[in-house]
Each structure stands twice: as structure tokens, then as C-alpha cells.
A and B are shown apart, each in its own frame.
Chain A
Amino acid sequence: MKLTNLLRIAWRAINRNKMRTFLTMLGIIIGVAAVIAMTAIGEGSKQSIQSQISGMGSNMIVIRPSSNVTAGARLDNTTVQSLTEPDVTALQKDAQFLNGVSGSVSTRGQAINGSNNWTTNMQGVAPDYLQIRVWPLTDGVAFTDQDMNTANKVCLVGQTVINNLFPNGEYALGKTIRFKNIPFKIIGVLIAKGENTFGQDQDDVILTPVTTVMKRLLATTYYQTIFASAIDENSTDKASDEIENILRTSHKLQKGTDDDFTVRTQAELISSLSSTSQILTILLTVIAGISLLVGGIGIMNIMYVSVTERTKEIGLRMSIGARGIDILLQFLIEAVLISVTGGIIGVALGITATKLVTMFIHWPTLVTQFSVVISFLVCFVTGVFFGYYPALKASRLDPIEALHYE
């Protein structure tokens, strides 16, 4: 028998009992809508965390000194000084999975412009830093290697600093501000980044060549941090291993001794932060899945009722030439048609609910193709699974008995 004919027969049967069909579908509709909405909310929050972290530069790798046993005394992380310029040079020279390395030191102090002052962070970095953090300028130019070599007193300022030192909206570029009594010329303005995931204002910063801070402000030869960026997001793990090898060689660490530094990638941060929302997503999906199961049982129940109620019809169909397989397929297709139609309505309802959530509660949401495809697949499987036994029962009826069933 042709599939189109089977579809036609099933469609007619469904149409004959519109209300009942709709009520049967309702279980599936609610189940699917719940799955779509729940995963959309879960995905949305995950995505928003990820995008915030990516905003800091998703390929970014942060290297910090870490406690090492020196003469039997374990030192505090902040006092450990192990990262030096040769480390940066070694990384720049030998690392294959890195495309930017920048040593960094920072110091807190008061910045003054005329009668305005503002206590802020001055961070000394290399020119690569802007690329590592994915941080463009709105105005001016970045400092260069030349500025690095001469420990030039130039700086790039963040928006918060601009707002506080130039409260009346004066043109900051080219002006000279003083930080800890040293004059710095503003050669560029950083684009506003806003708060990071932890609520810190990323724009409250003045960037200057790292050599300037080290030589003129802190008189140190050690970096507090080295920032690097992997060539792409997938190679952050390889890059992290590579950094470890290069730094161990550069620090002449023996086999068996601990690293005197730590390497953190953004990927680790992302995964630890998203795992919470991941658990939430799984929980919500399980609950939604249960409602789908209940919907499926509803279909099975109605199909059983339908088969019993239509025993005579089955007898008639068999007497005019329907084979067992035709009857089986008829009821199976009916069940699948109910579940898949329910699925379509459910997806539409779920997407609508998602939009409403975003509109009224302002939660970030994201309807993934994956959740839609999975919902359809589950609906199809539900229809086949819960429709099969009633359909099998129908197909095995004896035509003579079925015809005389009252």
C-alpha cells in the first residue's frame, strides 16, 4: 500500500475525532514546549556567561607566579617572584601555539589631571596585550616596541578614568596626566568593556609600557603576570602545555620539582562557570522529558481505546483487502501523526514562551537547533514506541471476529 494512501487514511481518522486528538496531543505539546523553553533558558544563561568570558579574550592564557618551596619555606603567591623578561622572550621565540605574549605588572595610585584626581590601576603591558584581550582603541594609537625599549611615558586610558579625570568631556588625547607624580602623555583611549563576570569595572585602568612601570614606578625586574593568547580556541590546551615546558626549561626546574608558576586558560574558567548552568539545564530537561513520557503514555492509552472502538472498522478494512501490515501502519502512522503534530505545535509554543520570558523577565534565552531536532526525534520515537503495541493488536485481529464485534 502506498504511503500517501496510508497518510490519507490516518489523517481522515484523526480528523474524525478532532477534540480527542487535540487532548491526546496536549501531553506532547506541553512536554515539547517545556523541553524547548527549559533548554532555551539554560542555553541562554550558559551562552551569556561564555560571551562575557570571551569578551576578555577567549584564547587568553594567564601565567602567574605560584608558591614554590624555597629553602624549606613555602612562600605566599603574591611574594613569589619568578616571571622575568627572559621568560617572555623564550615564549615569544619558542612557542608555536601562541600568537601574543605580554608581561605585566600593575600598581595602584592616584592619577591627576589639573584639579581632578582619581585613584586607579596602572597596568604595564606589552603592545601584544591589546590583541590578547581583544581590546581595540576608540581613539589614538597604541604604544610600540620603541616605547617599550625607551620606557616611554605614554599611556592608554580606560573610559572610567577618562570620565573621572575629564569630567566635562574635554578632549583627552594628547593631554598629559600625572600618575604618582610622573607625567604620562595620553596617546590612545580604550573602548569601554564594562564589568566582567565578577563585577569588576574593566575600564578603570591606565595601560602603559610594562618597562615604564617596572623601571620608573616599581623598580623591579619581575613580572606579576604574563598574558598570552593561543592561536585559536581549540589549541589553548596545547598552548598551555607548551608554556609549561618552555617556562620549566627557562627556570631550569629539575624533574620532580613543582612549577613555580601556574597557567590558567579561559576555557577552564568557562567550563567551571558553565557547569552550574549545565546541571540546571540537565535537571530541567529531565523534568520536561518526563512530561513527554507522560504524553506518550496518553497516546498509547488513546490508541488502545481507538483500536477497541474501531474493531468493526478494522474488520471491514480487512474484508475489503487490507493486510495486517496495512492496519498496523495505519494505526502507527496515526500515532506518529498525533505525536509529531503535537511536537510541531509544542515547538512553536516553546519558542513563543521563550520569547515572552526574554521580553518580560529579561532572562537571556537561546533556542538551539539541537533542542528542536531532538524534540522532533523524541516525538517521532514516542509515537512509534507507544503506537506500536495498539497497532500490533489491531493488525492481529481476526477479520471474522472483528466484523461481528459489537
Chain B
Amino acid sequence: MSSVIVDIKNLKREFRMGVETVKALNDVSFAINAGEFVTIMGSSGSGKTTMLNILGCLDKPTDGQYMLDGINIGQMAKNELAKLRNQKLGFVFQSYNLLARTTAVENVELPLLYNNKFSAKQRREKAIKALEAVKLSDRINHLPNQLSGGQQQRVAIARALVNDPVMILADEATGNLDSRTSYEIMMLMQELNNDHGKTIVFVTHEPDIALFSKRTITLKDGKLLKDYINTNVQSARQMLESLPAISEILTPAS
């Protein structure tokens, strides 16, 4: 039996907008086990961003329970949440959020700077290892503006991996990328999931991205609409190979 990473029971999140109360999440329950690759889908206003914020320990539920790796989030103070984000989670954002004029390896080191356990030497070693895992070991001293969008996102993924998190949270991580680069990123995600056993939660509104995950949770109006296991997982590698090669596109038909 695999261990439970996320355990959400009757989760509610309400926002006060003046006199009105908006129920962004209304009684949602699900669990995610270690090694799963889950996409959370939903149109805008469905509550998926709120769900991501709560999963990422950036926000706390109004009611209900959220256990992350056996720890109850509801009762935690701000600083304890920060520590949890630092040691248990890895974030990948739509807009990469790399520090400008800072080399790839320094960007990847960042989460470890907020953890006193690691020496400068250990930080550098772990960062280089993470960059190797995303196949960027030849770009460690490049600055973000010297990297393509896909490469920048891979640096961001390396940054999410560097602290060995129990779960990687991706927020529209392919939203800024063209389809070829998106497939490359998804291929990397599938590799991390299959070969390294990383638990991945991917929030997206693009249905074709969900095809690469093993399970899809769909939210609508703050409620769980669908939760199904994808029996026919697409391989991003195959998709990538089926795309016409760039040389084919550029070669004029004779």
C-alpha cells in the first residue's frame, strides 16, 4: 500500500467580499497517494487556484481538514507553513519566476538557502544534481535571459526538485509555452513521475495536458465534479516524436 501524501476531507474555503461570502471551495474531499500524477482541471472560477494555494500551504482552509504527508495544516502558524513549503513542496509556476540576473544554479539553490541543514557545498552539489535531472547540466551558469522559455521552465522544475519534496505542484506550467516545448516539459514530468517516483499535482485548464496524467480531478463551482483514473495515459515522448520535425517544416516541398 502506498502512503497518503494529500488527505483532504470536507474542505471549505470562503472569502468575504464586503457583505457577501464567496464559497471558493465547498465541501471537497479527495486523497492523493505517493507516486501519483494528478491533474486538477476546471474552468476559471471553478476554485482550482484556491485549491492549489491550499495544497501549496500558501492558504489555509476555512473549514475541513487538509493533511499533507501526515501533518495537519489547519492549526499551523505562518512560519511553520513556510518551513513546510520549504521542505515538503516544490512549486512550478506558469511564468517560471526565476530571479533575473541570477545564474541557473543559483536559482535552483534558492530553496536550500532557507534551510539551515545544508552547507554551501551541499547546496551546490544538490543544485547541480537537480539540473542534471532536467537535462540542463550544460547550462548551469547561464542567466535566465540566455535561456529559452522551455529551458527556463526546466530550471524552475529543477528548483522544485532540489529539496526532495513529497509533492511537486505545477500551476499552468505549460501555459506560456508552445506545444512542442509543452510536450517536452510533460515528457520531463512523466519521467520524474515514472522513473523517480515523484508525486506530481498539475493544475491546468488545458484538457490535452490532462491526457498525460494518471488521474484527473475536475472542479466546478467549488465542488468536485469528476475524479477519474486515466487508463489510457498518453506518452509525451511519443507525441513529441509524432510531431513533424522542424527540418520537415522548413524544407520546401519539391
- Contact of B106 with A12 in the complex, beta carbons under 8 Å: yes
The stretch among A121-129, A264-272, A317-325 that forms the contact with chain B is A317-325
- Contact of A320 with B102 in the complex, beta carbons under 8 Å: no
- Contact of B97 with A316 in the complex, beta carbons under 8 Å: yes
Residue of B53, B79, B101, B111 near A320 (CB, 8 A) is B111
User: Is B82 interfacial (CB-CB < 8 Å)?
Assistant: yes
User: Is A1 interfacial (CB-CB < 8 Å)?
Assistant: yes
Q: Which residue of A lies closest to B162 (CB)?
A: A320
- Contact of A321 with B102 in the complex, beta carbons under 8 Å: no
A309 CB, nearest partner CB in chain B, Å: 10
Q: Cα distance A318–B100 when bound, in Å?
A: 17
- Contact of A320 with B78 in the complex, beta carbons under 8 Å: no
The stretch among B86-94, B212-220, B224-232, B236-244 that forms the contact with chain A is B86-94
Chain A proximity mask over B26-57: 1 for CB below 8 Å, otherwise 0: 00000000000000000000000000010010
Which chain A positions have C-beta within 8 A of B116? 1-2
- Contact of B115 with A321 in the complex, beta carbons under 8 Å: yes
- Contact of B79 with A321 in the complex, beta carbons under 8 Å: no
Q: Cα distance A317–B111 when bound, in Å?
A: 8
Q: Cα distance A400–B116 when bound, in Å?
A: 25
B160 CB, nearest partner CB in chain A, Å: 8
Count class of interface residues, chain B: 20 to 34
B161 CB, nearest partner CB in chain A, Å: 12
Q: Cα distance A104–B220 when bound, in Å?
A: 111
Which chain A positions have C-beta within 8 A of B100? 16
- Contact of A323 with B82 in the complex, beta carbons under 8 Å: yes
- Contact of A321 with B101 in the complex, beta carbons under 8 Å: no
- Contact of A403 with B99 in the complex, beta carbons under 8 Å: no
Which chain B positions have C-beta within 8 A of A2? 116
Q: Which residue of A lies closest to B171 (CB)?
A: A403
Chain A proximity mask over B156-182: 1 for CB below 8 Å, otherwise 0: 000100010000000000000000000
User: Is B85 interfacial (CB-CB < 8 Å)?
Assistant: yes
Which chain B positions have C-beta within 8 A of A1? 113-114, 116
- Contact of B82 with A9 in the complex, beta carbons under 8 Å: no
Q: Which residue of A lies closest to B107 (CB)?
A: A316
Which chain B positions have C-beta within 8 A of A324? 78-79, 82
A9 CB, nearest partner CB in chain B, Å: 6
- Contact of B58 with A320 in the complex, beta carbons under 8 Å: no
- Contact of B113 with A403 in the complex, beta carbons under 8 Å: no
Q: Among A5, A9, A318, find the residue whose CB has the most chain B CB atoms closer than 10 A.
A: A5
Q: Which residue of B lies closest to A319 (CB)?
A: B91
- Secondary structure at the A interface, as helix, strand, loop or mixed, is helix
User: Is B110 interfacial (CB-CB < 8 Å)?
Assistant: yes
- Contact of A320 with B91 in the complex, beta carbons under 8 Å: yes
- Contact of B83 with A321 in the complex, beta carbons under 8 Å: yes
B78 CB, nearest partner CB in chain A, Å: 7
Q: Cα distance A320–B102 when bound, in Å?
A: 17
Q: Cα distance A320–B53 when bound, in Å?
A: 13
Which chain A positions have C-beta within 8 A of B85? 318-321
Residue of A9, A318, A321, A399 near B87 (CB, 8 A) is A321
Q: Cα distance A83–B97 when bound, in Å?
A: 91
Q: Cα distance A312–B97 when bound, in Å?
A: 7
Which chain B positions have C-beta within 8 A of A400? 53, 58-59
- Contact of B106 with A323 in the complex, beta carbons under 8 Å: no
- Contact of B56 with A319 in the complex, beta carbons under 8 Å: yes
User: Is A313 interfacial (CB-CB < 8 Å)?
Assistant: yes
Residue of B53, B59, B86, B93 near A321 (CB, 8 A) is B86
Q: Cα distance A400–B58 when bound, in Å?
A: 7
Q: Cα distance A311–B84 when bound, in Å?
A: 22
Contacting A at CB under 8 A, from B5-32, are none
Q: Cα distance A76–B114 when bound, in Å?
A: 84
Contacting A at CB under 8 A, from B93-124, are 93, 97, 99-102, 106, 110-111, 113-116
Chain B proximity mask over A264-290: 1 for CB below 8 Å, otherwise 0: 000000000000000000000000000
Q: Which residue of B lies closest to A316 (CB)?
A: B97
Which chain A positions have C-beta within 8 A of B78? 323-324
- Contact of A5 with B93 in the complex, beta carbons under 8 Å: no
A10 CB, nearest partner CB in chain B, Å: 12
Residue of A16, A312, A318, A399 near B101 (CB, 8 A) is A16
Q: Which residue of B lies closest to A16 (CB)?
A: B101
* Given A323-B78, A326-B114, CB of A12 within 8 Å of CB of B97: no
- Contact of B82 with A318 in the complex, beta carbons under 8 Å: yes
Q: Cα distance A373–B91 when bound, in Å?
A: 46
B201 CB, nearest partner CB in chain A, Å: 14
Which chain A positions have C-beta within 8 A of B115? 321
Chain B proximity mask over A1-24: 1 for CB below 8 Å, otherwise 0: 110010011001000100000000
* Given A12-B106, A16-B101, A403-B93, CB of A321 within 8 Å of CB of B114: yes
* Given A320-B159, A321-B87, CB of A5 within 8 Å of CB of B113: yes
Residue of A9, A317, A399 near B58 (CB, 8 A) is A399
Q: Among A9, A313, A318, A323, find the residue whose CB has the most chain B CB atoms closer than 10 A.
A: A323
Q: Which residue of B lies closest to A324 (CB)?
A: B78
- Contact of A8 with B97 in the complex, beta carbons under 8 Å: no
A-B contacts, 10 listed (Cβ < 8 Å): A5-B113, A313-B97, A316-B93, A317-B114, A321-B83, A322-B114, A323-B79, A325-B79, A400-B59, A403-B93
**Which of A's residues lie within 8 Å of B, judged by CB?**
1-2, 5, 8-9, 12, 16, 312-313, 315-326, 399-400, 403
**Which of B's residues lie within 8 Å of A, judged by CB?**
53, 56, 58-59, 78-79, 82-83, 85-87, 91, 93, 97, 99-102, 106, 110-111, 113-116, 159, 163
